[in-house]
Structure formats: C-alpha cells, structure tokens
C-alpha cells in the first residue's frame, strides 16, 4: 500500500518546510509508522500568511462562476481518487475503508454544494427615506481564514471549512490533525490540479497550540474556524478575541437518545447500535446516552446488545471490518476508566468492557445497562465505543435528564407520537434534533451546536454566511 507523501502546501507549492522538526504518523490498527510529517517553522507560517493574503485578493476578485468551475473540477478529481484517499484515511485514522469512502462522498457533496451556493451571495435593496437615495446591503468574503480540525473525520472536518471558505470567496490556512494528515494533503492536491490559484488554500502542520497562537496573532487572519473539544475551543476563542477575529466553533457533544414505549423498538435498536459504533463512537454527534422508557427497556437493551455483538471489529483496511481501532492508546485508558467508573456506580456490563488484543488500539463495542446519572459516562463525552443505557418513566423527567449538560450539539428521539415529537422539538436544548433517525449531517442543512457545543453552522446557506461580512452602502446623487 502506498501512503500519501507527507508535505506542507504553501503558496501553491509542496514543501518539507524549513524546520527540522517532524513527527511520526502511526497506523492505529497495527502501530506501524506510516510516514514522517514535517512541522512548519515560523518562517513557513509567515509564508503561509503572506500566501493567504495574496490568495484572498485573487480569489475575491474571481467571479463566483469561475470559482464554481474550479471547485467542481476539484470535486471531480476527488471522485476519481476516492479509492486511494479512502484507503489512506483508513491507514492513518483506522476507520473502515467503506466508511472512509462514504466520508469522501459527503466531502464531494459539500464541495459541489458550496461551489453552487457561492453564486448566491445576494444582498438586498432597502427602501430609502430620501428621494433619489439608494440603500444597499452587500455580502463580502470576510478575509483569510485560519482553520484547525480534529482527527475523527480527517476529510469531512476539513472540507466543511474549505468548502464554506472558498464558496464565500475567502482564502484559508488549514491545519488538520497531525495524526491523520493524508486526507487534507490529498484534497489539497486535487485543488492544485484543478487550477486553484496559488495561496488560496495552504496546508500546515506543527505543534497545534504553537501554530494557532502564531496564526491568530497575525493581522492577516480575519476568521477562525475550529472543530474539536470544548476546552480547546474556549482557549482559541480567547486568543481570537485579542484581534476581534470572528469564530465558528464546532465543539464536543454528549447526545441523548430518548426511546419511548410507542417507538418501533426493533428498528430503533438496530439504528441506535449501528450509529453508536460508527467510527468506533468517535463522532461528535454520536448517540452517547440512551434513555429508554420502562415498558421497552429490557427489550431494547437485549436487541441493542445483539447488534453490538454482531459487529466485526478489526483493521479498517479489511473490507469486512465494521468497527476499527481508536485513534490512540490514550483513548483506551479513557474508555476503561469510564467503564470501571460506571460499574462502580452499579452499572451492568452487557457486552464488552475491555480492550481487544494487544496490538493496535481496539476496544470492544461495549453496552452498559442500569447506568445512574452520577456515573462519569452520563456526564463526560465518551467519544468511543461505549453505549450507556438507562431507563425512564416520565416525559418531563427524561427531558430534564437530556438537557442537564452544558453541551447542546445533537439530540435524538424515537417515538410515533406526533405531539411528543413536537414537544421535544420545542424543549430540547441542542443545535440539532432528529426523530426516528440519525441523518442530520448533509451539505445543504445547518450543522452546529449551542452552549458548550459551540456556535455557528457549517453546511446550508448559514455555512457560507459565516465566512461573509455585511456592508451597507448608501448613495445620494449617483
Ligand atoms: P481536541 O480539542 O484536543 O483536539 C482537536 C484538534 O484540535 C486536534 O487536531 C488538535 O491537534 C487540535 N488542537 C488542540 N489544541 C489546539 C490549539 N491550542 N490550537 C489549535 N489546535 C489545537 O479534541 P480531541 O479530543 O482530539 O477531538 C475530539 C473532540 O472534538 C470531541 O470533543 C468532539 O466532540 C469534537 N468534535 C466536534 C465536532 C463538531 O463538529 N462539533 C466534530 C468532530 C469533533
């Protein structure tokens, strides 16, 4: 298997950079070294900033139609190279290659949607108070963007930001995660080959806090977009505030699922288990707290466990694999701590609860029943393959439990009662809420959280708008 050549992409050129620092990229399924990733020096970051400044001037002056043409060409190339990109993503992230391929489909869909939507940066004419006066609101691209993203979706986390930025007419410096660099590099190669002007997209790597501090100190950067945990989001927002840089924050979550007695339990259990263990549970909108009404509690737990036991865990490059490894050894320790803590609070392990094998970072799909609210896993985002199940009897009680955390990213319910679904839609404290399914991430719909899960949407027209600024123009006598 040929792994991606690891380089920085600055001002339209591939480079090893001028620093002598680098880090090994590890395959989480085998613990083998895949390659050595160069870190950018401050001189390289200065070059990326200058390139983004230059690239912004070129790109904002490029018509939305011409931008769309280049973005669509890049999407065509991603389609052509999808198999190789997906395989590399499976190598450095560990995810099953089919899931990586579906992620690329989503990425291509986002890029095409943003390319199209970029043509609709409509303003408006506002009736004036004085005869002969013309008042207009226009939308402009905000400027060069700095973006930092987590490793769990190495292609789609990246494209959510690149697609929105380029569609709006911005340039961007992207620092994806150092553990999963192949996808962003392959994506940048597609843009280069599609004819994207030099400097519009730049890709750097390094020590995350050093790179972000350096870029956010620069007067060139006008927008920060971050996908990652809440504590890091808070830190970056404070840094951005020093220069009044506008932010989009896609942060952590701990999504409740409320399963009511009247739901189709067989379908709910199957969908819940499949979605819970997708990407080994390392998904910000993963269903991660299951509240099941008492009449169907035992049945749901039994069916859910049956589906969990049937999942094939293994190396993501094996086409039969459904659940791959966790990203690193550190996550195994976190999983074990959450399970041990739940058991110490009285939870029962229905399946799993331990590491799998001693090579690679595999953890068994785990189902816990009778998990009390005080257990850590009902309060801390697990970001892994553990499903805690608890029961409820009363509507108001489950809503209060679902809403109890500072997080507010995704929430889900399974019910056939329209009135209950409507009441939940009103009362649930989250940026996204789905009834009887989990499909809340599409290119055309707004994706984002509230409270400690962040703010600002990616996707939908709201996604592009967060990379635009508003200008009011008033004219008399012209
Ligand atoms: P993390 O915040 O520690 O790291 C996320 C990314 O930010 C990594 O690439 C890391 O290298 C980088 N980073 C860390 N410190 C940084 C700094 N000072 N400056 C710039 N970059 C920095 O989170 P993690 O535990 O690695 O990732 C999982 C978290 O990300 C979870 O909380 C998850 O919910 C969240 N997430 C959210 C979304 C969303 O869209 N809401 C999507 C994916 C992941």
Task: Please give the average per-residue pLDDT across 292-305, as a whole number.
Answer: 98
Q: Is the CB of 23 under 6 A from ligand 1?
A: no
Query: Would residue 94 count as lying in a domain?
Result: yes
Q: In the predicted model, what is the mean pLDDT of the chain?
A: 98
What are the φ/ψ torsions at residue 215 (nearest 5 degrees)?
Answer: -70, -40
Mean pLDDT, range 99-106, rounded to an integer: 98
Residue 393 near residue 294, CB atoms below 8 Å: yes
Report the CATH number that the domain containing residue 220 is assigned in CATH: 3.40.605.10
Q: 3-state DSSP call for residue 224?
A: strand
- CA end-to-end span of the chain, whole Å? 65
Residues 247 and 260 in one domain: no
Asked if residue 221 and residue 276 are part of one domain, the reply reads: no
Report how far ligand 1's centroid is from the alpha carbon of 225 (Å): 11
Q: Is 227 in the pocket of ligand 1 (CB under 6 A)?
A: yes
Q: Is 103 in the pocket of ligand 1 (CB under 6 A)?
A: no
In a domain, 3, yes or no: no
* Assigned domain for 2 exists: no
- Of 182, 189, 201, nearest in space to 78 by CA: 189
Co-location of 176 and 52 in the same domain? yes
Assess whether pLDDT exceeds 80 at residue 160: yes
Give the pLDDT confidence score for residue 451 in this predicted structure.
98
pLDDT for position 410: 98
CATH code of residue 279: 3.40.309.10
pLDDT digits (tens, 9 = 90+) for 60-85: 999 999 999 999 999 999 999 999 99
282 Cβ inside 6 Å of ligand 1: no
**118 & 58 share domain:** yes
Do 298 and 234 share a domain, yes or no? no
What's the number of domains the chain is made of? 2
**Residue 282 to residues 245, 268, 278, 409, 477, Cα–Cα distance (Å):** 29, 20, 8, 14, 59
Whole-model pTM? Answer: 0.96
Is 374 designated active site?
Answer: no
Which residue in 110, 284, 322, 381 is the catalytic one?
A: 284
The SS3 of residue 237 is helix
Query: Residue 393 belongs to what domain range?
Result: 255-442
Could you tell me whether strands 386-392 and 366-369 are parallel, antiparallel, or unpaired per DSSP bridges?
parallel
In a domain, 1, yes or no: no
Is the pLDDT assigned to residue 277 strictly greater than 90? Answer: yes
Q: Is the pLDDT of residue 110 over 70?
A: yes
Q: Tell whether 209 is covered by a domain.
A: yes
Residue 1 has a pLDDT of 65
- Give catalytic status of residue 103 as yes or no: no
pLDDT confidence of residue 266 = 98
Percent of the residues in the chain that have a pLDDT greater than 70, as a whole number: 100
Query: Do 231 and 318 sit in the same domain of this protein?
Result: no
Alpha-carbon distance 331 to 151, whole Å? 13
For residue 419, name the pLDDT band (cuts at 50, 70, 90). Answer: very high
Same domain, 298 and 193: no
Contacts of residue 63, Cβ cutoff 8 Å, sequence gap at least 6: none
**Interval 347-396: pLDDT, tens:** 999 999 999 998 999 999 999 999 999 999 999 999 999 999 999 999 99
Residue 381 Cβ inside 6 Å of ligand 1? The answer reads yes
Which ligand 1 atom lies nearest to the CA of residue 383? 31
Same structural domain, 204 and 263 = no
Residues 458 and 407 reside in one and the same domain: no
Give yes or no: residues 220 and 236 share one domain: yes
* Distance separating alpha carbons of residues 70 and 76, to the nearest angstrom: 10
Q: How far is CA 39 from CA 13, 88, 289, 343, 404, in A?
A: 15, 20, 38, 42, 41
Same-domain pairing of 83 and 125: yes
> Ligand 1 centre from 228 Cα, in Å?
2
Q: Please check whether residues 183 and 275 belong to one and the same domain.
A: no
> Tokens for 463?
């996604």
- Is the residue at 147 inside a domain? yes
Listed residue (188, 182, 198) closest to 62, CA to CA: 198
**Residues across the chain:** 478
């Amino acid at each position: 298997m040929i792994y991606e050549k690891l380089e920085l992409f600055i001002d339209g050129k591939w480079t090893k950079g001028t620093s002598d620092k680098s880090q090994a990229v590890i395959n989480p399924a085998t613990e083998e070294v895949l390659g050595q990733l160069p870190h950018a020096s401050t001189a390289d970051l200065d070059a990326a900033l200058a390139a983004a400044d230059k690239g912004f001037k070129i790109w904002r002056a490029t018509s939305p139609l011409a931008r769309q043409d280049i973005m669509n060409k890049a999407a065509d190339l991603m389609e052509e190279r999808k198999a190789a990109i997906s395989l590399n993503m499976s190598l450095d992230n560990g995810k099953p290659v089919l899931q990586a391929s579906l992620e690329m489909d989503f990425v291509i869909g986002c890029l095409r949607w943003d390319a199209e939507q970029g043509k609709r940066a409509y303003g408006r004419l506002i009736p004036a108070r004085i005869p002969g006066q013309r008042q207009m609101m226009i939308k402009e691209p905000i400027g060069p963007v700095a973006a930092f993203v987590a490793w769990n979706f190495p292609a789609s986390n990246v494209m959510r930001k690149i697609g929105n930025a380029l569609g709006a007419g911005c340039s961007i410096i992207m620092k994806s995660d150092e553990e999963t660099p192949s996808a962003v590099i392959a994506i940048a190669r597609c843009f280069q080959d599609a004819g994207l002007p030099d400097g519009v997209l730049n890709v750097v790597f390094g020590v995350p806090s050093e790179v972000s501090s350096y870029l956010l100190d620069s007067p060139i950067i006008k927008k920060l977009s971050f996908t990652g945990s809440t504590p890091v989001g808070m830190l970056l927002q404070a840094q951005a505030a020093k220069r009044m840089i506008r932010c989009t924050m896609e942060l952590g979550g701990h999504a409740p699922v409320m399963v009511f007695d009247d739901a189709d339990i067989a379908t709910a259990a199957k969908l819940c288990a499949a979605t819970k263990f997708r990407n080994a549970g390392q998904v910000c909108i993963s269903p991660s707290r299951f509240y099941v009404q008492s009449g169907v509690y035992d049945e749901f737990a039994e069916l859910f466990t049956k589906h969990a036991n049937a999942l094939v865990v293994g190396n993501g490059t094996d086409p039969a694999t459904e659940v791959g490894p966790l990203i690193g050894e550190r996550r195994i320790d976190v999983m074990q701590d959450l399970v041990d803590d739940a058991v110490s609070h009285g939870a029962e392990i229905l399946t799993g609860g331990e590491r799998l094998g001693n090579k690679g970072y595999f953890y068994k799909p785990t189902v816990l029943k009778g998990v009390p609210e005080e257990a850590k896993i009902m309060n801390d985002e697990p970001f892994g393959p553990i499903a805690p199940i608890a029961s409820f009897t009363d509507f108001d009680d489950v809503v209060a439990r679902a809403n109890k955390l500072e997080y507010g990213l995704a929430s889900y319910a399974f019910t056939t009662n329209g009135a209950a679904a409507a009441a939940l839609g009103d009362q649930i404290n989250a940026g996204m809420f789905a009834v009887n399914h989990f499909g809340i991430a599409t290119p055309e719909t707004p994706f984002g959280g509230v409270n400690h899960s962040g703010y600002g949407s990616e996707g939908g027209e709201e996604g592009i708008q967060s990379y635009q600024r508003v200008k009011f123009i008033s004219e008399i006598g012209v």
